[in-house]
Structure formats: C-alpha cells, structure tokens
Amino acid sequence: MSLNSRSSPIHNLNVDVLLYVIALNANMFSDPHALRTTRAASQVCRDWRVLMLETPSLWARLMDFNVLSSRNCEWLDELLRRSATAPLWIRMEHRQTERFTDPPVRILKSLIAVSQEHWTRIEKLVVSLRIDPMFDATHWKVLHLPAPELDTFIVKYEFSIPIEHPGIALITTLFSGYAPKLRKFSLANYSIRNHASWLCNLRTVHFSSAYSVHLALVVLSSTRHLQELKINDLSDERTSIPLPVVSLPYLKYLHYVGQPAIGATLLEHVEIPLDCSLFISAPFLCIPEDTQEEVLVAITNTYVRYVRRYLQSHPPKGIYLKYEPNCDIDFKVVAAFPDDCPLSILFPVCYWSTSNPVTTIFNQLALPELSGVAELRLYTSGPFDLLLGVFFRCLTSVKAIWTNQETLGFLTQLQNCIDATHDQDIIFPLLGVINLDNSSFINYMDARIAEFILSRMPRGHPIATLCLLNPISEVNLENLAEAKGLRVVHTSPEVIGELEYTCRTVE
C-alpha cells in the first residue's frame, strides 16, 4: 500500500506522535546516519515534508559535519535556512575507523565559519578529532564571545601534544565569562584559570594534562553542582602549595585515568557521596625506586579506603577480579556485567623490596562486606599465592563464577596448597555453577577443568552445572565421565540453540 494513500495507517497517527518518532530518529549523536535518514523521511510524501519543514528544531539539530561536505555549500546553507532561529547542535567526530569526504582541516574551517556566524544560538558543540587542530583565539574568535544558549561544549583529540607557537594568540577568558546555560564542558589542552561564573552551573567537566592537581582542585571548588567528573592524565606539578579539599556533594561519577599517585592524591582531596560511581585506571607507574614502596603503600591504602566505603554503603552481589602478575589487579563491583560496574579500580602491582604487594592488596580487600557476593568473575594469568586464601575465604556466598581453564587450574593449585597445611577450608563452599567463557576446546575437555570439578566431589561440595560458552568445536566430555550428576550446558557449531548433558558414571 502506498504511503501517499489516505487509507495508509500512517496517516491515522497523531501529528505530535509522528513528529516525535521522526525526531527520535534524527539524533546525530546516537545515529551517524541521522541526517541522511531525516532527509529521506522528508521526501516520503507531501504531508511529511510540510510537517518537517515547519519544524526548524528538527534541522537545527542535524549540523553533522561528519556528513556535510565543505564543497557542497548549498546543502549546508539549506540546512541553516530550514533551522531558522532554532538552537543549533553541531557535531564533528573523526575516529580512526571513519573517513571524511574532505580532509578534516577543511571541514573544521567550515565548522568554525558556521560557528562564528551563528554563535549566539549554538546549544551543543561536539568536536572529536584524532589530532590537535590547535583551537585558539586567532582561529576561533567566538570563544571570547558570550554564549547565551550554549549547553554542551566538548572539544577533544585522540592524540594531542601542547605546543606553544609565538604567532598564536591564546584564549584568555572563555565565553567572556558568560555562558549561563552551560552544563557540559571539555576543552583539550586548555585550563580554566579564572573563576568564571558559568562554572557553578556545570554538571559534567573533563580535565586533561593541561591541569595540575592543584589547578584542578581550584577549578572544582567552583563546581559544587557537578555530577560527572572525567580526568585524563593530570600533570605532575610538584609544589609546596597546600592542596585544598573540595566538596562535590552531587557527584555521581568520577572517572580517572593517569598516574596512580596523582589519582590517589586527588581522591584524598575530594569529598564525594558514598554512592558516587568510581572508575580509576592507573596502568603506568613512574615512581623513583627509592620511594616506590612507600608511595605504592599509600596508593593502595587510599584505593582500598574508597573500596571499603563503597562496599559498606552498597553490599555487592557480584564482583569482577582480574589479576595480572607483576602488572595490576583489576577490581570491579558488578551490578550488570559488563556495562554497569559502579566501582572499578585498577591497583598497580610491581616488585617491592621488602613485602609482597599482591598479598598486601588482597588482604586489604578481604572485607566482611564481600561475604554476600553470589557471582564472581575471576581471571588470572599466573598462580595464586597461598596467602591469598585469606581473601578467597571471605567469599563464602559465591554460587556462580565466570572464568577460564587457566584460572581454574590455578584455583586447584591454591586448594592443594591449602590442603597441604591440613586446613579443611574449601574455596567457594557454595559454588554450584561454573561458566567458562572464551572456551577454545579442540575436541577435548581440558584436564584442568575436570580436575577442579572432580576434586570437590569427595569433600561434599560438587559442582551442579558447567556452562561452556561459545566453544569453537564439538565438546568431548570424556574427562568428566566420573562427575556423576554434573549438568553440562554447551553449544555446538552444528546445532542451533543450547545442548544439555548429564554426566553418569559407567557401571
């Protein structure tokens, strides 16, 4: 049935509902094809076209310079004409996997030209490039002008190195100090050095290496209503100036990537709510050897303190733990893996001269609040020290684990070491389900899996279910023949859906 036919059900839709559906599909920040989709929708029929052309806000939010070509000025001018005086949304995000029809610099110049002409009605401006295009007062003069409608201003680069050029005028006062509606702000390689009035209204801010810890804290002292804070690699500016303590009572999310010592210093000087989600990743360790152990102990103490305060207010049902020997320990509280992990902290691990860092960290993480954890995602590429048994003993309620063959083998070794001490404790006494992911079975069942499962049966702690997730070939269960009653759930390249098998001992 033709959409142009009056008998088409689409014509029975309420106009507001139809416009809502069209606008829903015209979000260029969630759909890279939004501009093309909206343009095509406007050509479906005369009624749709009239409706859409009479809605300037629809076109004003589609200034997508990933799609617009600087050589096709007519289409850009038409978009601006259709937008009338509605607040503008402008986007230019260039990732490694994307290709522009024009060189990024040429498109950027076109974007800047549009920004300069329509600055007072820009509501959202998001620019993400692979290289630093050097945003400065010479090339983008509007950054000095008041921004009455600006809600979101994000300019970031995948690769950027601050370089000083004597012929370039630096930005001194952003937005002439006037951006009353600004809620999200990020400008790579630029640090705010004045107490602008718009800071108090920010909900999201992103700091880069242009900030030292002291400067970041000074700026944060003016952002009391902040809800989301992202920090990437603050500069290590050693100073005798006392660092202020900043209260952020409304913060919901703190994301830090950079040097672990700087991250710990930052955490020691911010007061955040107990339910604030934390993401701390500090993979690179640059600490003089003569102070390394002292600094790492301080880092560990700070990180564990934040883990403890979070667990005390939010007893977890699931955790993720990945241990890379001589590298790091990745600890996450899991609400819904992998997208919802409200607490994620990467503990740096290296050789300490007088103590075992792994044992120290795990012992501090052996908190009573973990006794209620029912689901565990556990991975390691190296053996567990016997002293780590203290940590595993606190996980008394674990009923299901997600892991791999290698980790199960190291768990069996740890259990054997515990048994050798005549200790009767068993790791994860309530464990009933094992989920093996990334299972690369090559027509046989890994002996480490069978050994772990069979070792628990004589002790009265059998595994009830073994789930083999995504095996790449047929699964041979011969090694599990003695695991009587074990339910094995797996998939097969030859069969759609899941297969089940219950192990029975051959008489």
DSSP, residue by residue, 459-507: TT----EEEE-S-SSPPP-GGGTT-TT-EEEEEETTEEEEEEEE-----
Judgement on whether residues 192 and 80 belong to the same structural domain of the protein? yes
Judgement on whether residues 115 and 147 belong to the same structural domain of the protein? yes
**CA gyration radius for the chain?**
29
The pLDDT confidence band at residue 411, using thresholds 50, 70 and 90, is very high
Which range, of 131-145, 156-170, 199-213, averages the lowest pLDDT? Answer: 156-170
Which residues 6+ apart lie within 8 Å of 51 measured at CB?
A: 15, 18, 19
Residue at a domain's end among 254, 284, 314: 284
CB 296 within 8 A of CB 303: no
Judgement on whether residues 120 and 242 belong to the same structural domain of the protein? no
Q: Return the residue matching tokens 């301080």.
A: 298
pLDDT for res 87: 96
Name the DSSP letter for residue 444.
Answer: S
Instruction: Please give the tally of structural domains in the chain.
Output: 2
Judgement on whether residues 216 and 243 belong to the same structural domain of the protein? yes
pLDDT for res 469: 74
Predicted confidence (pLDDT) at residue 138 exceeds the cutoff of 80: no
pLDDT for res 3: 47
Strand 343-348 to 375-380 pairing: unpaired
The answer to whether position 40 is within a domain reads no
What domain range includes position 144? 55-201
Name the DSSP letter for residue 227.
Answer: -
Judgement on whether residues 246 and 158 belong to the same structural domain of the protein? no
More reliable by pLDDT, 8 or 110: 110
pLDDT for res 279: 94
pLDDT for res 282: 75
Which range, of 21-30, 41-50, 73-82, 280-289, averages the lowest pLDDT? Answer: 280-289
pLDDT for res 373: 95
Tell me the backbone φ, ψ of residue 186, rounded to 5 degrees. -155, 125
- Model pLDDT for residues 163-188, shown as the tens digit of each residue: 454 444 456 678 988 999 999 999 88
Judgement on whether residues 64 and 143 belong to the same structural domain of the protein? yes
Q: Report how far apart, in Å, the C-alpha atoms of 393 and of each of 170, 245, 368, 418 are.
A: 58, 37, 10, 11
Predicted confidence (pLDDT) at residue 443 exceeds the cutoff of 60: no
Judgement on whether residues 160 and 70 belong to the same structural domain of the protein? yes
pLDDT for res 494: 74
- Model pLDDT for residues 238-288, shown as the tens digit of each residue: 667 789 999 999 999 999 998 888 899 999 999 999 989 999 997 656 665
pLDDT for res 484: 87
Judgement on whether residues 74 and 186 belong to the same structural domain of the protein? yes
Strand 487-492 to 495-502 pairing: antiparallel
Predicted confidence (pLDDT) at residue 435 exceeds the cutoff of 90: yes
Predicted confidence (pLDDT) at residue 119 exceeds the cutoff of 90: yes
What are residue 322's DSSP bridge partners?
330, 379
More reliable by pLDDT, 118 or 479: 118
Which runs of consecutive H residues, i.e. helices, occur in 25-160? 34-41, 46-53, 56-60, 73-83, 104-118
The answer to whether position 331 is within a domain reads no
pLDDT for res 14: 82
Residue at a domain's end among 176, 201, 226: 201
> What average pLDDT score do residues 472-487 get?
76
The answer to whether position 337 is within a domain reads no
> 3-state class of 11 per DSSP?
helix
- Model pLDDT for residues 87-100, shown as the tens digit of each residue: 999 998 875 445 55
The answer to whether position 386 is within a domain reads no
pLDDT for res 432: 96
Amino acid at site 328: D
pLDDT for res 63: 93
| Most confident residue range from 11-15, 58-62, 153-157, 351-355 | 58-62
pLDDT above 90 covers a percentage of the chain that reads 40
Distance CA(50)–CA(72), nearest Å, equals 24
> What average pLDDT score do residues 225-240 get?
85
Q: Residue 30 CB: number of other CB atoms within 10 A?
A: 9
Judgement on whether residues 73 and 175 belong to the same structural domain of the protein? yes
Judgement on whether residues 217 and 110 belong to the same structural domain of the protein? no
pLDDT for res 158: 64
The pLDDT confidence band at residue 1, using thresholds 50, 70 and 90, is very low
pTM given for the model: 0.84
Residue at a domain's end among 284, 304, 325: 284
pLDDT for res 69: 66
> 3-state class of 149 per DSSP?
coil
The answer to whether position 220 is within a domain reads yes
pLDDT for res 188: 80
CB 122 within 8 A of CB 115: yes
Judgement on whether residues 182 and 259 belong to the same structural domain of the protein? no
The answer to whether position 15 is within a domain reads no
Q: Residue 385 CB: number of other CB atoms within 10 A?
A: 15
| First-residue to last-residue Cα distance in the chain | 67
37 burial (CB, 10 Å; 0-12 / 13-18 / 19+) is: middle
Predicted confidence (pLDDT) at residue 468 exceeds the cutoff of 90: no
Judgement on whether residues 209 and 270 belong to the same structural domain of the protein? yes
Predicted confidence (pLDDT) at residue 307 exceeds the cutoff of 80: yes
Distance CA(246)–CA(266), nearest Å, equals 10
The pLDDT confidence band at residue 376, using thresholds 50, 70 and 90, is very high
- Model pLDDT for residues 20-31, shown as the tens digit of each residue: 989 998 999 989
Distance CA(331)–CA(319), nearest Å, equals 7
The answer to whether position 134 is within a domain reads yes
The secondary structure of 333-398, three-state, reads ECCECCCECCEEEEEECCCCCCCCHHHHHHHHHCCHHHHHCCEEEEEECCCCCHHHHHHHHCCCCC
Predicted confidence (pLDDT) at residue 392 exceeds the cutoff of 70: yes
The answer to whether position 443 is within a domain reads no
pLDDT for res 505: 55
The pLDDT confidence band at residue 104, using thresholds 50, 70 and 90, is low
Taken in order 284, 286, 289, 290, is the CA torsion positive or negative? negative
pLDDT for res 12: 73
Distance CA(471)–CA(166), nearest Å, equals 60
Which range, of 9-13, 131-135, 266-270, 471-475, averages the lowest pLDDT? Answer: 131-135
